[in-house]
């Protein structure tokens, strides 16, 4: 709390100090305010984001890396950017190809108090499956990775470990609550396997209490040498609460689950990169992007169809307003953010090899909700220099409800900060994000048209200012 | 736009100036930041707002003034406030009792290009109905009240006037867009009747294009002497667009509609007033409120069930934290905001008669969405004095995403400003409000639990600061 207050005070003071220092050379003009107003008018009345998202979700569907739908999304966004007159490149990358297989099943087996109880689960992404007959074992509830380590082999061996630490509802920004709980999903299975567990079941990453399990990746990179990966699933929060109560009452409870997921051989896929060369500073790149892949359940509307159409519409809106960029604008659809980051890693590698300079990058990967500003990051020693001008622009952004804060930008772009530019993340209102995240209900209907359009306008305004003034 | 920028700059400058002037007596302490953090923790984990809203919407339902459901809501909120230990009064007021009757019907009759076309409509509140056989007449499309006046009797007589000016999608705050279009719904029928129209059909007040008509009140107070009121209905935006196209193509189009609504005799109803006397300044009242009545379609979840449970939970949360107010806290559920304001008028009249002083009043009547701050109003000459301290508190509020601006407070409380206090309106994010406003889909499911809870916390924090420091 205090840190937050201080950071706000810092921004305010910075603004005042800058304003005093540079009275003779204002950070912006009245024309900028008018042009930003035009950007908003355009995005709210003539933008394409909502229609593009309709196509990507309702016509293409879920776009897990390696799937035919991911390939369709590559082709669709390539065509859209080509139609807008961008120079479009498909940048190859090798992605994992995980498939969910048959619908998952799980039940409490012969609870003394409740008999057989069916549970709502989803296999975690990249997880190994059970065998065809499924897996039955005693279940043990824990609240943390540390608790598993403390229980050791004696407590864990032969069991299904049930990670049940909820997200912290008192966090104002739900991403902080997510960050405080998601280690269970990402590392829970690997850590439990090290102590002889035969399966892992993880409370869904959401602040709601409902019957919808949330998938997401689990990774096995904490497995000790020689230890085999174990199957891992997410359980809905309602069923997590129920299972916890059954365990409390019955003490010894056997759980059955069956998953049919598997990792197939890697596939070639692509980042889709659209570019318009800058007229004055072509070597200074301003990137806007999102990730094209999504989970297979639902249709990846907020995560991250919204971010993809945000990024494409940023260029579309500026083009409709006949804006000619001085710097190079690059619209990037990253592949495989969800379960491997293959696209982002390849993009950064190639960019570094070419000694490119990303003056700025803006990622939208927090949903299509009403925008509340941007987070900013840069390498430590240059953050204050790089963020200075952006903070000076606050009076242009605040009328649209936008604020600035220091914080992570986005998984696909944050590595680019080694090129010494400023990385920004669009920060929409986060309250509803984890209602939909990685679920069958992350679909078209969950996105509000105006909220989506306002995200486009916020990003386009930032691109315009960075392009016009540099950093 | 410029005004907005300037007002933000004004707030910033004010803040800085105040901070410099009063260095020796800070506007708040670290303890305040900690207590506000406790308020948020409590509201997000132990608040009752969401459960109360569940009852008011799913068990009671739509609560139009004069209806049995409105009486149930009076009794329910009386009980809840009584349970919390407040001194509860039912303040009588006489409310209109309008009933919708049979489901409305409307169709284009024998369009040359499309034949018979069914249209989605809802009678406007307080409207007279058609007779049992309905009404058939040629339809004329207009965009404003002025256009009707310009067309005059020759152009309007014997026709159904179709008001079809959309809300302005380029407004960032959707209430501004609503304010720019709603004269058609409120006064359209009366103005058209003055020129001999036989009916009025009004484009629904929403920025969405969908098949859901939005009701809301029409008033006949602009009728010329001797002119009879005419039936008035709202049409969904999709059907408004369709009807407009048919008119454009066919030129002469007859419309049929039938409504069965009527105004019954007035009924006695009540404002529900819960009070806790202040320990030090009992004569300084801090009011928090919303309105208990809603439209009959839907269950009034955002409008204004959310505001009612916000207000009740403000006191609940402070009580749970064992906070003892120095000033008198009054939680008021106003009756009949939607179609007459009888409750607000009675409350103000009685309060003025008793020479009460409302130091501050906060109304929540803009939905249960993620809060973005407060609007503030006061009598002109005292606004800057009264808002000064509140602006100084901004550093305590900004970490929770709250900003301040000058603007209307709420229909139920704004008349109280004659008592020389400060009137505030909770300002949630407005983008989705008019998706639901006055429709069958303004129901429980449209409200997000956390967004609702954050509204409670924002209001409770403001009440706490005003109670502790005065204004």
Three-state SS across A207-223? Answer: CCCCCCCCCCECCCCCC
* Sheet of B199-203, strand order: B115-118, B105-111, B254-258, B135-142, B160-163, B199-203, B232-235, B121-123
pLDDT for the residue B26: 84
The label of the residue with tokens 């419309």 reads B255
Q: Do B450 and A169 touch (CB under 8 A)?
A: yes
Q: How far is A259 from chain B (nearest CA, A)?
A: 32
Q: Do B8 and A395 touch (CB under 8 A)?
A: yes
CA–CA gap between residue A6 and residue A246 (Å, rounded)? 45
For B189, residues 6+ apart whose C-beta sits below 8 A from its C-beta are B124, B127, B197, B199, B200, B218, B220, B229, B230, B231, B232
DSSP state of B144: S
Residues of B with CB under 8 A from a CB of A: 1-2, 4-5, 8-9, 12, 15-16, 30, 33-34, 37, 40-41, 44-45, 169-170, 172, 174, 207-208, 370, 372, 395-396, 398-401, 403, 429, 431-432, 435, 448-451, 454
Tell whether the torsion through CA atoms of A136, A140, A145 and A148 is positive or negative: negative
The two tokens of residue B464 are 């706490």
Long-range CB contact pairs, B223-228, < 8 A, 24+: B223/B190, B223/B193, B223/B194, B224/B194, B227/B193, B227/B194, B228/B193
CA torsion angle for B44, B47, B53, B59 (degrees, to 10)? Answer: 130
Selecting from B45, B169, B396 the residue whose C-beta is nearest the C-beta of A170 gives B45
Contacts of A403 in chain B (CB under 8 A): 398, 401
**What parts of chain A have a pLDDT lower than 70?**
1-24
Q: Do B400 and A12 touch (CB under 8 A)?
A: no
Q: What are the counts of helices (DSSP H) followed by strands (DSSP E) for chain A?
A: 14, 16
Angstrom distances, CA of residue B260 to CA of B99, B103, B265: 9, 8, 16
CA–CA gap between residue B471 and residue A278 (Å, rounded)? 54
Q: Do B5 and A207 touch (CB under 8 A)?
A: no
Q: What angle do CA A277, A280, A284 make, to 5 degrees?
A: 60
Selecting from B16, B40, B429 the residue whose C-beta is nearest the C-beta of A170 gives B40
Residue range B427-452, pLDDT digits in tens: 999 999 999 999 999 999 999 999 99
For A110, residues 6+ apart whose C-beta sits below 8 A from its C-beta are A116, A254
Interface test with B, best of A170, A171, A210, A452 (most B CBs within 10 A): A170
Element (H, E) at A42: helix A30-46
Q: Do A429 and B429 touch (CB under 8 A)?
A: yes
pLDDT for the residue B211: 98
CA–CA gap between residue B297 and residue A405 (Å, rounded)? 42
CA–CA gap between residue B30 and residue B395 (Å, rounded)? 11
Asked if residues A77 and A242 have their Cβ atoms less than 8 Å apart, the reply is no
Asked if residues A376 and A409 have their Cβ atoms less than 8 Å apart, the reply is yes
Interface test with A, best of B34, B177, B450 (most A CBs within 10 A): B450
Q: What angle do CA B417, B423, B426 make, to 5 degrees?
A: 155
Q: What is the DSSP string of A121-159?
A: EEEPBTPPP--TT-EEEEEEEESSHHHHHHHHHHHHTT-
pLDDT for the residue A25: 74
Element (H, E) at A274: strand A262-276
Q: Do A37 and B1 touch (CB under 8 A)?
A: yes
The two tokens of residue B62 are 């739509």
Selecting from B9, B12, B431 the residue whose C-beta is nearest the C-beta of A370 gives B431
Q: How far is B40 from chain A (nearest CA, A)?
A: 7
Q: What is the pTM of this model?
A: 0.94
Helix (H, G, I), strand (E, B) or coil at B393: coil
Chain-centre distance of CA B282, in angstroms?
29
pLDDT for the residue B246: 97
pLDDT for the residue B25: 73
Q: How far is A50 from chain B (nearest CA, A)?
A: 12
Asked if residues A423 and A377 have their Cβ atoms less than 8 Å apart, the reply is yes
Angstrom distances, CA of residue B217 to CA of B106, B253, B289, B336, B341: 19, 27, 21, 11, 11
The two tokens of residue A140 are 């043990």
> Burial of A69 by CB count in 10 Å (0-12 exposed, 13-18 middle, 19+ buried)?
buried
Q: How far is A19 from chain B (nearest CA, A)?
A: 12
pLDDT for the residue B24: 56
Taking alpha carbons only, the member of B402, B404, B458 closest to residue B49 is: B458
CA–CA gap between residue A290 and residue A275 (Å, rounded)? 15
Q: How far is B400 from chain A (nearest CA, A)?
A: 7
Q: Do B33 and A399 touch (CB under 8 A)?
A: no
The ipTM is 0.92
For B16, residues 6+ apart whose C-beta sits below 8 A from its C-beta are A12, A16
Angstrom distances, CA of residue B151 to CA of A21, A229, B148, B296: 60, 78, 5, 35
Helix (H, G, I), strand (E, B) or coil at B309: helix
**What parts of chain B have a pLDDT lower than 50?**
1-22
Interface test with A, best of B398, B431, B445 (most A CBs within 10 A): B431
CA–CA gap between residue A108 and residue B341 (Å, rounded)? 56
């Amino acid at each position: 709390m205090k840190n937050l207050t201080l950071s706000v005070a810092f921004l305010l003071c910075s603004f005042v100090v800058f304003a005093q220092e540079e009275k003779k050379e204002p950070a912006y003009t009245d024309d900028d305010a008018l042009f930003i107003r035009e950007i908003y008018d355009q995005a709210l009345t003539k933008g394409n984001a909502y229609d593009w998202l309709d196509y990507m979700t309702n016509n293409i569907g879920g776009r897990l890396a390696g799937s035919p739908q991911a390939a369709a999304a590559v082709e669709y966004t390539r065509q859209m950017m080509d139609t807008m007159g961008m120079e479009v490149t498909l940048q190859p990358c090798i992605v994992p190809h995980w498939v969910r297989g048959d619908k998952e099943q799980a039940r409490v087996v012969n609870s003394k108090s409740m008999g057989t109880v069916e549970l709502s689960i989803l296999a975690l992404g990249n997880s190994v499956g059970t065998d065809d007959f499924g897996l039955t074992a005693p279940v043990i509830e824990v609240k943390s990775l540390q608790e598993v380590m403390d229980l050791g082999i004696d407590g864990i061996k032969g069991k299904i470990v049930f990670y049940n630490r909820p997200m912290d509802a008192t966090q104002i920004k739900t991403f902080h609550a997510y960050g405080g709980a998601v280690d269970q999903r990402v590392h829970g299975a690997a850590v439990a396997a090290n102590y002889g567990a035969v399966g892992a079941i993880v409370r869904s990453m959401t602040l709601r209490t409902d019957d919808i399990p949330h998938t997401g990746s689990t990774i096995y990179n904490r497995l000790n040498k020689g230890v085999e990966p174990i199957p891992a699933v997410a359980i809905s929060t309602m069923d997590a609460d129920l299972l916890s109560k059954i365990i409390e009452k019955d003490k010894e409870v056997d759980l059955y689950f069956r998953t049919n997921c598997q990792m197939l051989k890697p596939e070639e896929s692509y980042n889709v990169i659209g570019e318009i060369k800058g007229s004055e500073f072509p070597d200074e790149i301003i990137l806007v992007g999102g990730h094209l892949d999504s989970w297979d359940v639902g249709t990846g509307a907020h995560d991250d169809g919204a971010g993809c159409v945000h990024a494409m519409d940023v260029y579309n809106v500026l083009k409709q307003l006949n804006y000619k960029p001085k710097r190079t604008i690059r619209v990037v659809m990253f592949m495989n953010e969800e379960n491997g980051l293959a696209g982002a890693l390849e993009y950064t590698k190639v960019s570094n090899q070419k000694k490119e300079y990303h003056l700025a990058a803006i990622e939208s990967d927090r949903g299509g909700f009403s925008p509340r500003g941007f987070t900013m990051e840069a390498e430590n020693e240059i953050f204050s220099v790089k963020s200075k001008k952006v903070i000076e622009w606050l009076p242009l952004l605040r009328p649209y409800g936008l604020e600035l804060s220091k914080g992570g930008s986005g998984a696909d772009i944050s590595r680019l900060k080694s090129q010494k530019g400023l990385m920004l993340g669009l920060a929409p209102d986060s309250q509803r994000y984890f209602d939909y995240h990685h679920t069958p209900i992350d679909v078209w209907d969950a996105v509000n048209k105006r909220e989506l359009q306002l995200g486009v306008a916020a990003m386009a305004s930032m691109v315009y200012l960075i392009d016009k003034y540099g950093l």
